[in-house]
Amino acid sequence: MNKSIPYWNPYLETLSRESLEKLQLKKFRRILKWTYTRSKFHRALYEKVGLIPDDIKSLDDVRLVPKVEKSMMRPVQRKDPFPYGDALCVPLEDVTSFRQTSGTTGQPVYQADSWRDWEWWSECWATLLWAQGYRPDDRVFLPFGYNIFVAFWAAHYASEKIGCETVPGGVLDTPSRILKIVEIKATAMMATPTYVLGMADVARKKLGINPAKDLGIKRITCAGEPGALVPSTKKRMEDAWGAKVFDHAGATEIGAWGFECACQPGALHINEAMFLAQVEDLDTGEILSEPGAKGKLVITALDRLAQPCVRFDSKDIVELSNEVCECGRTYRLLPGGVIGRADDITKVKGVLLAPSAIEDVVRSFPGLGNEYEVIVEKHGDVDHILIRVEVDDEAMSNSQELEAKLKNQLRVKTNLGYQIELHKLGSLPRYEVKAKRFKDLRKEQE
């Protein structure tokens, strides 16, 4: 692979819109037929609405295909072919990898992949790593135990696939991981935004190491949580590490469907040669196409075969755009990436509240720590939002002024009022993966 070519797959990544849509339709019809003939689960869904694969003649027709939600997968699993059940589309002996969803609530969903699917996973990740400037002379450190969760496994293999030297950093504790970066002179790293910030804190406080000056990390890819496209969080990470920080989006059931490129357009590209992404209005379910429209991402992995992902309701909230990226890729951009989850974006006092908006404000204040919590409750009939933040000693001595400024900026950004609670640095809960900072307690109160 020629290092100077900016694209992993120059042909696919620069296809015209017309050719891209033609390819998507062809692949969609193929995967639909595949699930119709091989998955009892999908076939039952389609028969219920009287749909046969030949009914889909255009991308517009795709909306006729029933959607799949994560909750629908649980009852069809844990039976033969065990444990994947009715959605498995290949013989059980073709399955080579077992993963499960990493959500913090509910029974996990199992995910089967064949070896061919695994090649597909690493191809998705290779596309994004190459786009973010990873090249064969990089030494990539992954400071995680990958466990049964897919993201860092796929990242690891893709990193090897493009020729990087790839170093797994599981089992070690945080200080040992930082020392490993020093020891091997790693040039790139992948982690959750929470952990990227946490590691920098540990390096400074426990080891007297300033990551921006003392370590040679040039680029960091974030996975597992949004945040790398929240401007103030990205800035905190880039300042702490002296590195470029990039976002990516994916899920166990879907694949690695979106990535920020090296131009850092403040947006994610959808990998449209491998995924069909449609954005649905939250209230009406209508497919949106206007730039600026916000809605829920419904997505199909066009080439994943063992346990396919067809019209999966990702619950990710995104905004559409017609902006063209400087990198030359024709893949569509989603400004701000995943701006929230349908479960989290709730109406508070009738106003749509995206947790990322709160994060952006909180992390733009210099005296505030990286951790915060948002708690939405009902006081009588009225919604009430409490934000707990951590502050350093200097900021604490000016607490009234800080509180007033914070309240004001939050109001400007979200049109809502807040109660603020200030806590000492280090006193709020810490997370390595899947931080749970947004707590809506209103349902429990009903």
Determine, following the binding rule CB under 5 A, whether residue 270 of this chain makes contact with Zn ion: no
Nearer to Zn ion, 101 or 271 (CB): 271
The one-letter code for the residue type at 2 is: N
Q: Is-cis flag, bond preceding 81, omega within 30?
A: yes
Residue pair 221/242 in contact by the 8 Å Cβ criterion = no
Considering the complex, state which of residue 6 and residue 81 has its C-beta at the smaller distance from Zn ion. 6
**Which span (158-166, 217-225, 253-261, 389-397) binds Zn ion, by CB under 5 A?**
253-261
3-state helix, strand, coil in the chain (%, to 5): 35, 25, 40
Site residues for Zn ion, 44-83, by CB under 5 A, read none
187, amino acid identity: T
Q: Which is nearer to Zn ion, 186 or 277 (CB)?
A: 277
* Three-class secondary structure of residue 405 per DSSP: helix
Q: How far is CA 376 from the centre of its chain?
A: 24
Q: Whose Cβ is closer to Zn ion: residue 25's or residue 261's?
A: 261
Region of 75-83, 195-203, 263-271, 391-399 interacting with Zn ion (CB under 5 A): 263-271
Gap between the Cα atoms of 355 and 239, Å rounded: 23
Site for Zn ion, residues 307 to 346, rule: CB under 5 A: 325, 327, 329
Q: What DSSP element (H or E) covers 352?
A: strand 351-353
CB atoms within 10 A of CB 296: 22
Closest contact distance (angstroms) between CB of 338 and Zn ion is: 17
Compute the residue count for the chain. Answer: 446
Least distance from Zn ion to the Cβ atom of residue 335, Å:
12
261 binds Zn ion (CB under 5 A): yes
Instruction: List C-alpha distances in Å: 371 to 247, 295, 405.
Output: 19, 28, 18
From 149-157, 194-202, 257-265, 407-415, give the range in contact with Zn ion by CB under 5 A: 257-265
Minimum CB distance to Zn ion, residue 130 (Å)? 12
From 47-55, 261-269, 397-405, 413-421, span contacting Zn ion (CB under 5 A): 261-269
Give the shortest CB-318-to-Zn ion separation in angstroms.
Answer: 16
243 contacts Zn ion (rule: CB under 5 A): no
Structure token digits, residue 205 = 């406080």
Q: Which is nearer to Zn ion, 181 or 333 (CB)?
A: 333
- Determine the size of the site formed for Zn ion (CB under 5 A): 5
Q: How many CB atoms lie within 10 A of CB 240?
A: 21
Scan for tokens 């290779």, then name that residue: 126
CB of 187 to Zn ion, least distance (A): 22
Block residue for tokens 């949580």 = 225
Nearest distance, CB of residue 266 and Zn ion, angstroms: 10
- Give contact residues for Zn ion (rule: CB under 5 A): 261, 263, 325, 327, 329
